[in-house]
Structures are given as structure tokens and as C-alpha cells.
Structure 1
Amino acid sequence: MSSPHWSAPVAHAPVDATVAIPGSKSMTNRALILAALAGSPATVTRPLRSRDTELMAGALRSLGVGVGEDFDDWQVLPGELTGPARIDCGLAGTVMRFVPPVAALADGEVVVDGDPYARRRPMGPLITALRELGADIDDGGRGALPFTIRGRGTVEGGTVTIDASGSSQLVSGLLLAAPRFEKGVEVRHVGPPVPSAPHLAMTVEMLRERGAAVEVEDDVWRVAPGPLRGGETVIEPDLSNAAQFLGAALVTGGRVTVPGWPERTTQPGDALRGLLAAMGAEVTSGPDGLTVRGSGTFEGLEADLHEVGELTPVLAALAALASSPSRLTGIAHLRGHETDRLAALVNEINALGGDATELPDGIAINPRPLRGGVFHTYDDHRMVMAAAVLGLAVPGVEVENVATVGKTLPDFTELWGSMVTA
């Protein structure tokens, strides 16, 4: 009988590959929301097709939006938002934080639910904010999924104060729907710093590209009411999903090029240039894309990853294979992601013989010789990517539930295998 696990391939030689990365999940799901609220048809070109983006498309269809397929692109035909509807968020943070403000604009009841772990992800601040802006929501006092939105076809909007220190998506969700609220929205953040600031910059830039009037001042965001334009949005490659491929160049002393790397972007993954260089990589960019070359040995990393927390799993895997200790900090909010990523990374690295310690706001890793074993993924796509990086140098890494990587990169195992054998 075949093993239920995926055997992470070992690199027996330096990798030498060009890897085309599919579109950005973050940009795709923002583009779908803005297209659904636009005043004319829209096209999302070169979108990511994955579980998270299919859940977003399905959620919008449930509310009456036409989302059709034109080869690899999505054609979006805005329509009247109506209930009754049931929204399946899966484990997608962008769906559970971006869709409820849109659903509040629907006429009728909308039930919002997701996978079991999704019911533990922070939603209370968003639910409270939507109520203060005029939405009618019944969450049974849980501040979490599942909940029911009793839409009246409109939301008053106005000024709201929110603690978004758990996720920048709590702010982005309100901003994306704000142009359709009667008074727009002024969101004021009070609390510890909002993580993933590049994602907020992405939300603001994409709103402005669709014609929204947005002002940003410290921890205050203002979006005026008004129509959104349709038209085309071209999705960039998902730079965060490039992390493990570029990291493979470090681990194996090889070369990996990611074509289409944008010269200017709001994606957090662009920070890989500096982070990998700090570990000893040679990083260059040009017409062919971004290229990373490794020498076969590389140093640990001391970095505050508060703004780029999604890169943590792959960077932690690299740190476990580095030549010196690492401290990755500023990432306490990762305890509320698809799983408690800090605890998961410490558990799985140590299970392979590593030396990882959980810090109040991060992870400390001291390199030690690793051994093979089962690497659990906790239904978290980025845990799969971390395991694959470790498997390049550690024979016998067996990855449990590799299919969960379909959340953002369904073709991951094929792309990875092609890179290792190239």
C-alpha cells in the first residue's frame, strides 16, 4: 500500500532552474472583491487558481455576482447582492475578513462559516466594527465563525475604532467595501502595531486604481463613498510563494530564477531580496527576473518579520539548516493564522532533531544535524513549503497532508520536483 505522506525530494546536486510562480493570492482576492463591487464588468487577468481564490469566487457567486471563466482569466459581472446565501470561508483569512463587509450590503440573510480551525481565528473586532457601522450580525456572542448577517441592502458606514493587531485583514476588509457604504468609512486602529503593513498598502493602492478616494494618516484610513471602476486588473506573481524556491538555491548552492518579478510592488514577498542576501545569497534582478545564487553554506538570520510574517515558515526551515543561530521576531500574530505557526514550527523542527525555541514574539533556532521523519502540516500550506526546504538536505522527510498546499499553490509538488531534478 502506498504511503499517505509525500516524500520530500533530496537535492543530490545544486539546483539550476527557472521557476514560474502563479499569481498572487492576496492580489487576486482583493481584485475579485473590487470587481464585484464595481459599476461595470471587470477582468482579473492571470489570477491564482487555488482553494483560497476559488472559495472567494464561490462566495461572490453565492451573493449574486457573476464570476465566469475566460480561459485562465476571470470575468466578473457585478450584480445586485442578495440572500439568502451561505458563504464557505474554508481556512482563507481573506475570505472570512473580506466577504462579510460585502455580505452586509446584500438584501437578505447570509450565513458565514468555514473549516473547524477557522472558527478559532480572530473575527471579533471585525464583527464589532461592522455592527458599529450599521450591520446586523448574529454571532451568538462568540466573536467568531459561524455567524449570520441580516443584510438590508445598504450599510450606513462612518467612523469606527478597531484593534487590528491580530491581522491587517481586519482593516483591509472594511476598506475594500467602504466605497459602497453610504458614508464611506474612517477606520482608526488603536492597539499594538498592525502586522503586514505591505498588505494594507496593497489594499490602498488597488482601491485607488479602481477610482476610490483613500486617505491614510498614521493609523487612520479614510475611504470616501463613490463608484468603483471595472476594467482589467493584471495579477503579479505571488512573491511569497517564491520563498521556498529561492531558498532552495541557498540550501543546495545552486541558482533559481523567478521570472516576472515586478520592479515595484506592494507584495510583502519582495522583502526576500534583502532577507536572503542577509543569509549569504547573491541576489540579482534583471530582464530575466529575480535570481538567487547560493554557495552551499549560509548564515542564520536575525530579523523582525512583523511586516512579512508569511515568510516565517520557509525562513525558519532555512534557519534550521544554516551555519549559525537565528532569531525571528515580531511575529506573535502568527499564533492566529491557519494554525499556531510558531508552535507548529517549533514542534516539527524539533521532531527532526532540531533545536527551536518559541519566544514571546517569535522563534529562536540553533542549527543541529537533522534526521528524517514525519513532518506534520496542521492544514497549513506554508508548513508544506517549510518541510520541502528541509527535505532538500535531510533524507527521509515525509510530509503529512501535502494536499493542503492547494490553498495557495496547487501545482507545488510538480514545480518542486521539476526544480530539484532540473
Structure 2
Amino acid sequence: MPAELRPWLAPSAAGPVTATVRLPGSKSMTARALVLAALADGPSVIEAPLRARDTTLMAAALRAIGVAVDTSDDDRWRVEPGPLRGPATVDVGLAGTIMRFLPPLAGLVDGPVEFDGDPHARNRPLRPIIETLRSLGVTIEASASDGLPLTVHGAGLIEGGEAVVDASGSSQFVSGLLLSAARFTKGLTLRHQGPPVPSAPHLRMTTHMLRAAGAVVDESVPDTWVVEPGPLRGRTWTIEPDLSGALPFFAAAMVTGGAVTLAGWPEASWQPVEQLSALLTELGAEVTRTGDGLTVRGTGTLRGITADLSEVSEMTPVLAALAALADGPSELRGVEHIRGHETDRIAALAAELTTLGAGITEFPDGLRIEPRPLRGASFETYADHRMAHAAAVIGLAVQGVQVTDVGCTSKTLPEFPELWAGLAARS
């Protein structure tokens, strides 16, 4: 369970923030590498992984079903697959990656696997992946809403074949099924049926990593993914710095007219750097990539934007914070599914930005944000790390933003408060 609340006064910046930051690895890549390594035919090494609540809970879950995961070295985790056995109990915390990626893998376990997590985790949608697994013959007991707590009665194999899923609520429904599909007896032909799937870059990350592990994947038909049955190779995974985790630091440069460089950024990335660069440029930043890394410079101007954020929905809270500090109104749309994230992020942002003084119109799929003079106030985080990031960004420009719980940032970046305070001190 999460630790007790850690109230935190967001530091304000005295001038332009100029810094080079080195951040831990991508949560999304670390989670996928752990699952693929657990299903591989030999040992794997994960270099530069993210050590945070979500990923350490994922490692613990894999250990519980028979996978040897050595996380004693911060920079190199070692994964040795073993026979997948139950019974086991998995604490998902509040991690969508665990609650969506591991039930398909649990179907391959010989024995029952129980899943539960933080109180709000029981509100996060799981029905599409549960229904799809049941259609493939997996026996699952779940809550009345087809969510947590649930038990997957693993039979040691999943036959696979053809299946349909409505992944409009989360691309993780597709990713979770695809990551284990090569180990299904017949592989998997998965077809999405419903409104558009959000967060397409995360799906591309999944298929890229599957291929890197040796899987044969065909995604040439829109909304259809075919994974052939076959072995997955053990390999060395090198995890990129986390782009979503870097966004608050880039936002700091934009808010203060400074410059922040994310060191260690690769030339070729599996994360949505092009989409984010375009959005930050439209908001008024200058974005460059050099041998030193990825740099965002503030120009002294923050412009309002109208944007469809469906492909980068994880970044909505920080982008909304920037919009609240801009020189004109913004509309951020296309993110109805983030109502099912760690909290209902649209409703949470509407409430907290209104408390700070912004003019907010809430839509089913997003927000209209009218910048007005903002004031310091208590900013509720709802146990959501991205809400804390948004509050920290506004706090750079607005004194007195009191974050109700900065401890929730341990979900993806435990050292966030210290890094942020150091950043503000360099202004």
C-alpha cells in the first residue's frame, strides 16, 4: 500500500532554469522488457531500468510466479525465466502496466494467480482484457465490474487464435495481450473493435520490442495485430530515458525562459518524441536534438494551443499546467480515456486548476483552459504522480502552491522532489 501523505510546498523559480538532467529509464520500456524477459527462452539483462514503485512491483509479481528477477544492481537487472507456477498473489499497486500486462501471462501459469492493488486500482477499467482472455478459454474470477480483485486460474497454456477487443479505453489492453501472444499455442490474431485506440506510440513500442525479442508481428491491417507462435529470445534491453518523466523538466525551461537538456537521449527512439516536440514548439518552445541530448528552450512566450492529445495522453496534466500559464486559451482534447487513469485526470485537472484561478470548461474528452491570474492554494494530487508534476510546474511561476502529496511521484520517479528542488535552486 502507498506510504502516508507527504505534503510539499512547490518551489518557485527566481529566474530562468538552466540545467542538464539525467533521468531514470522509461517506465513503459522497463515494464515491457520485464514481461518479454520473463517469457524468453534464456536469460536477459535490462540496462538502465527505471527503479520505481511500478517497476519494482512488476519485478515482485514475476518472482511470485517463478521468474528469477535480480534487481540488486540499479543499472543492470537480470532476468532468468523459469517454470511459471502458482499459486501466487500479485500487488498491482496503481500500475496499469501490471494489471493489464500480467493477466495474459498468468494464463500461462500452472495454478491460480490473484491480483489486487491500491483502493483506486479497483476503479481502473479491466473488462475488455478480461472478456478477451475468457473468449480465449482462460478462466478468470473478477469483481462484479470485471475489475480488481481478480483471480486468473492458469492452466499452463493458452491456445490463442482469433480474438476481438475494445481497446478504446487503453492501448494497454492490446499491448498486454500481444506481449504474451507468441507463447500462445496458436499465437494471436487480435482485432480492435470500437472507437479509436489511444496512445498509438505505446502500441508501436510494444510491437517494436516484440520484434526485437524475435517475435513475428504483422500490423499491416489497421486495428489488427497478428503475433505468430514461437520463442522469444533472451537479450540485453537498453532502456531509454523516460520522455513522460522528462516533460515537467522541459516545462520548467518553458515557464522560466531557461533551457533544460535531457542527457543520454538516443538518436532513434521508441517513444513519441516527434509528437511531443511538435506540441512544445507550438506552445512556444525551441526543441533541438544534438549529441548532448534533447534540449528544450523557453522563448519567454507561452502560447495557447488547440491540440488532439490522444497519442500523448500521459502528458496531458503537464501540458494543461503550461496552458494555464499561457498568454491565450487552449483546448486539449481527445483524451476521454484518461478518466480511467490513476484518477479521473480530466475531472481532477478541472478541479485543481479552477482552485488556482484558471478558467476551465470540462468536456467529456478534455478541457478548455482560459489563463487568468493564478494564486497559491492547496493542489490535490489524487495519488497521481502526473498531477503532482503539473502542480510543480505551476509552482515555479506561482508562489504558495501546496502539493497535498509529493510521495505519489515515487510511482515513476522517487527522487522527483529532490531533483525538482535542485532545478528551482539553479534559477
Indicate whether the TM-score tops 0.5: yes
Match of 2:367 among 352, 358, 363: 363
In 1, the alpha carbon distance for the partners of 2:228 and 2:359 equals 51
In 1, the alpha carbon distance for the partners of 2:100 and 2:143 equals 18
Per the TM alignment, residue 271 of structure 1 is displaced from its structure 2 partner at its CA by 2.4
Residue in structure 1 matched with residue 333 of structure 2 by the alignment: 329
The answer to whether structure 1 residue 419 and structure 2 residue 423 are counterparts is yes
SS at structure 2 position matched to 1:249: helix
The answer to whether structure 1 residue 348 and structure 2 residue 352 are counterparts is yes
In 1, the alpha carbon distance for the partners of 2:195 and 2:267 equals 31
Residue in structure 1 matched with residue 129 of structure 2 by the alignment: 126
Residue in structure 2 matched with residue 227 of structure 1 by the alignment: 231
Match of 1:305 among 292, 300, 309: 309
SS at structure 1 position matched to 2:71: strand
Match of 2:260 among 251, 256, 260: 256
Q: What one-letter code is carried by the residue in structure 1 that aligns with 2:201?
A: P
TM-score (norm 1): 0.98
Pairing 1:42-81 to 2, within 5 Å after superposition: 42-72=44-74, 73-81=76-84
Q: Is the 8 A contact 2:248 2:318 kept in 1?
A: yes
Residue in structure 2 matched with residue 13 of structure 1 by the alignment: 15
Residue in structure 2 matched with residue 213 of structure 1 by the alignment: 216
Q: Is the 8 A contact 1:211 1:227 kept in 2?
A: yes
In 2, the alpha carbon distance for the partners of 1:69 and 1:151 equals 26
Q: Is the 8 A contact 1:339 1:380 kept in 2?
A: yes
Per the TM alignment, residue 266 of structure 1 is displaced from its structure 2 partner at its CA by 2.4
SS at structure 1 position matched to 2:242: coil
SS at structure 1 position matched to 2:318: helix
The answer to whether structure 1 residue 87 and structure 2 residue 87 are counterparts is no
Match of 2:145 among 125, 135, 142: 142
Residue in structure 2 matched with residue 285 of structure 1 by the alignment: 289
Taking structure 1 as reference, are residues 239 and 140 closer, same or farther at Cα in structure 2, changes over 3 Å only?
A: closer
SS at structure 1 position matched to 2:349: helix
Taking structure 1 as reference, are residues 379 and 101 closer, same or farther at Cα in structure 2, changes over 3 Å only?
A: same
Per the TM alignment, residue 298 of structure 1 is displaced from its structure 2 partner at its CA by 1.4
TM-score (norm 2): 0.97
The answer to whether structure 1 residue 108 and structure 2 residue 119 are counterparts is no
In 2, the alpha carbon distance for the partners of 1:83 and 1:283 equals 49
Residue in structure 1 matched with residue 280 of structure 2 by the alignment: 276
Match of 2:166 among 140, 163, 166: 163
The answer to whether structure 1 residue 193 and structure 2 residue 157 are counterparts is no
In 2, the alpha carbon distance for the partners of 1:4 and 1:124 equals 33
Range that drifts further, 294-303 or 342-351? 294-303
Q: Percent identity?
A: 59
SS at structure 2 position matched to 1:180: coil
Per the TM alignment, residue 276 of structure 1 is displaced from its structure 2 partner at its CA by 0.9
Q: What one-letter code is carried by the residue in structure 2 that aligns with 1:352?
A: L
In 2, the alpha carbon distance for the partners of 1:285 and 1:126 equals 38
Q: Is the 8 A contact 2:276 2:312 kept in 1?
A: no
Q: What one-letter code is carried by the residue in structure 2 that aligns with 1:34?
A: L
Residue in structure 2 matched with residue 383 of structure 1 by the alignment: 387
In 2, the alpha carbon distance for the partners of 1:270 and 1:95 equals 27
CA RMSD of aligned residues (A): 1.1
Task: Provide structure 1 residue ranges, at least 5 long, that are not aligned to the other structure.
Answer: none
SS at structure 1 position matched to 2:367: strand
In 2, the alpha carbon distance for the partners of 1:12 and 1:359 equals 35
Q: Is the 8 A contact 1:329 1:361 kept in 2?
A: yes
In 2, the alpha carbon distance for the partners of 1:293 and 1:309 equals 22
Q: Is the 8 A contact 2:205 2:271 kept in 1?
A: yes
Q: What one-letter code is carried by the residue in structure 1 that aligns with 2:45?
A: T
Q: What one-letter code is carried by the residue in structure 2 that aligns with 1:416?
A: W
Q: Is the 8 A contact 1:269 1:311 kept in 2?
A: no
Q: What one-letter code is carried by the residue in structure 2 that aligns with 1:122?
A: P
The answer to whether structure 1 residue 154 and structure 2 residue 157 are counterparts is yes
Per the TM alignment, residue 10 of structure 1 is displaced from its structure 2 partner at its CA by 0.3
Q: Is the 8 A contact 1:240 1:268 kept in 2?
A: no
In 2, the alpha carbon distance for the partners of 1:162 and 1:241 equals 29
In 1, the alpha carbon distance for the partners of 2:358 and 2:35 equals 42
Residue in structure 2 matched with residue 265 of structure 1 by the alignment: 269
Q: What one-letter code is carried by the residue in structure 2 that aligns with 1:9?
A: P
Q: What one-letter code is carried by the residue in structure 2 that aligns with 1:309?
A: S
Structure 1 runs of 4+ with >3 Å offset: none
Residue in structure 2 matched with residue 23 of structure 1 by the alignment: 25
Per the TM alignment, residue 343 of structure 1 is displaced from its structure 2 partner at its CA by 0.3
In 2, the alpha carbon distance for the partners of 1:265 and 1:183 equals 31
Q: What one-letter code is carried by the residue in structure 2 that aligns with 1:6?
A: W
SS at structure 2 position matched to 1:391: helix
